[in-house]
A and B are shown apart, each in its own frame.
Chain A
Amino acid sequence: MIQLKNISKTFYSKNKEVEALKDVSLEVKKGEIYGVIGYSGAGKSTLIRCVNLLEKPSSGDVYVNGQKMNSLSPAKLREARKKIGMIFQGFNLLQTATVYENIAIPLKLTGVSKDEIAKRVDKYLEVVGLQDKKESYPSQLSGGQKQRVAIARALSHEPEVLLSDEATSALDPETTESILALLLKINKEFGITILLITHEMHVIQKVCDHVAVMENGEIIEQGTVMELYSDPKKETTKKFVNSLFPHDIPEAGLNVMKQQGPIVTLTFVGESAGRPSLSMVSKKFDVHTNILSGNIIQLKTQPYGRLVAHIQGEKAETDKVMEYLREEGVRVDEVNIDEL
């Protein structure tokens, strides 16, 4: 649905060159939710703005729904943009217009008939759950409600693709949840393909099918969300994944523990997350287990859990334990104390 091929973008300012994107390629399939994560300045905002040509790539090609965007005439580009919705961190609503007008004005300006406008505004305000706010002004709405209006505005053009530029970054955690739930609903009900950028791993975890990690204008790692969680390769990716699993274990105790057996990270994916593998271990083998920290989170499609545990016992026994856990489908990594 969206294809970026070898996109580079260089900004020139006062004899300084900034390479915001370096040869970036990615493909978003129809109907999926694709997340791009990175710290600020990684180039993700430039990347998403290249999709609808708000930013013109210095080189490379952009395809949306099979159409090559970067060679369209201005008039054709405007046509193509109508089928690409976009929502922003700052909502970008008209302050001087009501909720109704905020959705109706762009429709009117793109040549939608009056009756059709009234129909669509009602329909999409209902989708986002704001039917009763029609006559309110943005200043009377909360951040979450403003983003809902912006989403309704984007949907009202009945796009095939929705671009989300840090849409939840200005919202509190609870509101973020509800907006993410809304994005999932849109994706399912209307089959709209979503490309989103964020700096919060939480957002990726909740809604994305595929994810790309960006750093210094490059995509350093990409894959399904599960792939990235279970086997992050790059340092930055690990940091993002670990941001969901805060390990806060006092160092003093660890050194002592280490003498009595290995400290391991156990990663449970899908089915294995539901099985009481660890408690089986203390029954079957002559070891004591002690959980130091742990968390299970729900990825979009399956649960994913991670425990840090101390296995206390003789080396021969603890080796067998690790063997057993691996057979159970649990990923076992011995922990270096310095890494915690």
Chain B
Amino acid sequence: MNYSIVEFYDRWGGMIWKATLETFQMVSISLAISVIIGLPLGVLLVLTRPNKSLENKYVYQTLNVFINITRSIPFIILLFFLLPFTRFLVGTSMGVKGVIVPLVVYTAPYIARLMESALLEVNKGILEAYEAMGIKTRHIIWHVMVREARPSIILGITIAIIGLIGATAMAGLVGAGGLGDVAYRFGHLRFEPEVMYVTIVILIIIIQGIQSIGNRLAAKMKKD
């Protein structure tokens, strides 16, 4: 089937636009929740590791194993595995609402890991200097550790967003829509390759854009 651009837009434009918005919606909501959960977990991982201020073998190892387990499961399996849990938590396992839970379970541990490695990069001499000035540990965590790690945190979140966009492609399976869903249902099942090409191009542009913004923000914060 061959379309002119105008015909293509008339026939698919609305649907692709709606799918793009759905993707954005899923990504932004689950990202926000994942950062809220993942950042503190990352801090906890750093503080409780051996030879750190709040060294605690049990907390650290439990967290470690839990994160590794969730990260071992591919998203598509996690999505089905969590169905009862999702229904229990938000009352439905369908639509955007239903997909947020598995997306967060998938992304938050990943972000915790990324935050952990970002925070570990912070020069521990600086933390010590602040400790020596009589500053409270919670202030040191926020005003020194997280502050100094900001460029790496931004880069980590950029990576997480891109992973998240990949995961939302599977969201169609529970009726949450999104770009991946359009590409699969129309492009593949109904054999409209043009639809698939266009969604791929849109995804490429989005990913490129996000990566460039992330890089630029991180560079700007780095100050060296």
Hey, what's the 0/1 contact readout for B100-142 against A, CB within 8 Å counting as 1?
0000000000000000000000010110111111111001000
Within 8 A of B (CB), among A92-106: 92-97, 105-106
Residues in B whose Cβ lies below 8 Å from that of A82: 133-134
A-B contact pairs, 11 of them (CB 8 A): A54-B132, A78-B134, A78-B135, A86-B129, A88-B128, A92-B126, A94-B126, A95-B148, A96-B150, A110-B133, A138-B223
Does B132 contact A86, Cβ atoms closer than 8 Å?
yes
The 9 closest A-B pairs by CB, nearest first: A81-B134, A139-B224, A92-B129, A78-B134, A82-B134, A92-B125, A137-B223, A86-B132, A92-B126
Complex: how many Å from CA A94 to CA B150?
A: 12
Query: Chain B: which residue is nearest A51 at the CB level?
Result: B132
Q: Is A90 an interface residue (CB 8 A)?
A: yes
* Minimum C-beta distance from B47 to chain A (A): 16
Q: Does A109 contact B (CB under 8 A)?
A: yes
Asked if residues B151 and A52 are in contact (CB atoms below 8 Å), the reply is no
Asked if B223 and A106 sit within 8 Å, CB to CB, the answer is no
- Closest Cβ of chain B to A65, distance in Å, is 14
From A84, A109, A139, A157, B143 is in contact (CB under 8 Å) with A109
Assess the A81–B223 pair: CB atoms within 8 A: no
Cβ B132 vs Cβ A81 within 8 A: yes
B89 at interface by CB-CB < 8 Å: no
Q: Is A79 an interface residue (CB 8 A)?
A: yes
A109 touches B135 (CB 8 A): yes
Interface residue SS majority, chain A: mixed
Most chain-A Cβ atoms within 10 A of its Cβ — which of B131, B132, B223? B132
Q: When the two chains form their complex, are residues A106 and B123 in contact, meaning their CB atoms are under 8 A apart?
A: no
CA gap between A89 and B223 in the complex, in Å: 21
Q: Chain B contact residues: over half helix, strand or loop, or mixed?
A: helix
Instruction: Say how far A325's CB is from chain B's closest CB, in angstroms.
Output: 50
Which B residues touch A52, using CB under 8 A? 132
Cα–Cα distance between A85 and B134 once the two chains are bound (Å)? 10
Within the assembled complex, what's the spacing in Å between the Cα atoms of A106 and B139? Answer: 10
Q: Are A54 and B131 in contact (CB under 8 A)?
A: yes
B131: which A residues are within 8 A, CB to CB? Answer: 54, 81
**In the complex, what's the smallest C-beta–C-beta distance from A160 to chain B, in angstroms?**
13
Whether, in the assembled complex, B67 has its beta carbon less than 8 Å from a beta carbon of chain A, the answer is: no
Contact partner of A92 (CB less than 8 A), chosen from B128, B134, B135, B150, is: B128
Q: Most chain-B CB neighbours within 10 Å: which of A79, A93, A96, A157?
A: A96
CA–CA, A105 and B139, complex, Å = 10
In the complex, which residue of chain A has the Cβ closest to the Cβ of B144? A94
Q: Between A and B, how many residue pairs show CB distances below 8 Å?
A: 70
> Counting CB contacts under 8 A, is A80 at the interface?
yes
User: How far is it, in angstroms, between the C-alpha of A215 and the C-alpha of B126 when the chains are bound?
Assistant: 28
| A137-B143 contact in complex given A54-B131, A157-B133, C-beta closer than 8 Å | no
A163 CA to B133 CA, complexed, in Å: 11
A54: chain B residues within 8 A (beta carbon): 128, 131-132
B-contact 0/1 string along A153-173, CB 8 Å cutoff: 100010000010000000000
A97 contact set on B, CB distance < 8 A: 147
Chain A contacts of B135 at CB under 8 A?
78, 106, 109-110
Determine if A96 and B222 form an interchain contact, defined as CB atoms under 8 angstroms apart: yes
For window 51-90 of B, CB contacts with A under 8 Å fall at none
Is B221 located at the chain interface by the 8 A CB criterion? yes
B224 near A137: Cβ-Cβ < 8 Å: yes
Interface centre among B123, B129, B221 (most CB of A within 10 A): B129
Which residue of chain A has the shortest Cβ distance to B136 in the bound complex? A78
In the bound complex, what is the Cα–Cα distance between A336 and B163 (angstroms)?
A: 76
CA distance A54 to B130 in the complex (A): 11
Contact B148 A96 (CB under 8 A): yes
Contact between chains at A94 and B125 (CB < 8 Å): no
Contact B147 A84 (CB under 8 A): no
Chain B residues with CB below 8 A from A92, complex form: 123, 125-126, 128-129
Known: A90-B123, A95-B223, A96-B221. A109 touches B129 (CB 8 A): no
A88, B125: Cβ atoms closer than 8 Å: yes
Is the CB–CB distance between A96 and B128 below 8 Å? no
